[in-house]
Amino acid sequence: MYSLNDDIREYTERLKEGAVPRAYRGILSFMSELLRRMSASHPGHALSALYAGFMDMTYFAITPAELKGRNLKVALVYLHEENRFEVWLGGGNRKIQAEYIGRLSGADIGSYTLSKVSPGVDSIIEKRLVERPDFEDKEALIRRLEEDVTAFIGDMIEILR
């Protein structure tokens, strides 16, 4: 049976071992650096603050002017449990998200995945970018993510035309 006190004791022990807090700080530090770099290389886009999450996902949003008028954004997401980066087209709220999923149903969206409207789903379109990223080679990972996100943004603008 689930016991919050037992889980907190386990959590405390894992924190004392050191790997979990070091890994979490490393992920947040990497994502902060990536946000700074993307902000510098995309001055025409609005970028959100970093959302650290609840050890489930960490992300930030990038909003090009072409998507802002539609109340859409692109999120660069790190999924902690999966150890994977994804990029998502998202809506300003659930209603907009559902509207665009409906509009794009049956449309040619290439190799991208169209989401389904359901609780807990925060995307309209998704793409997996990097599985098991190599955080030791930070520069290569940043370059790859920047290139992939830039391509995704261009593709989303084309798909929505």
Cα of first residue to Cα of last residue in the chain, in angstroms, is: 52
* Predicted pLDDT at 80: 96
Task: Give SS3 for 155.
Answer: helix
pLDDT at 134: 97
Which distant-in-sequence residues (6+ apart) come within 8 Å of 12 by Cβ? Answer: none
Residues of the chain with pLDDT under 50: none
Q: Residue 37's pLDDT is what?
A: 96
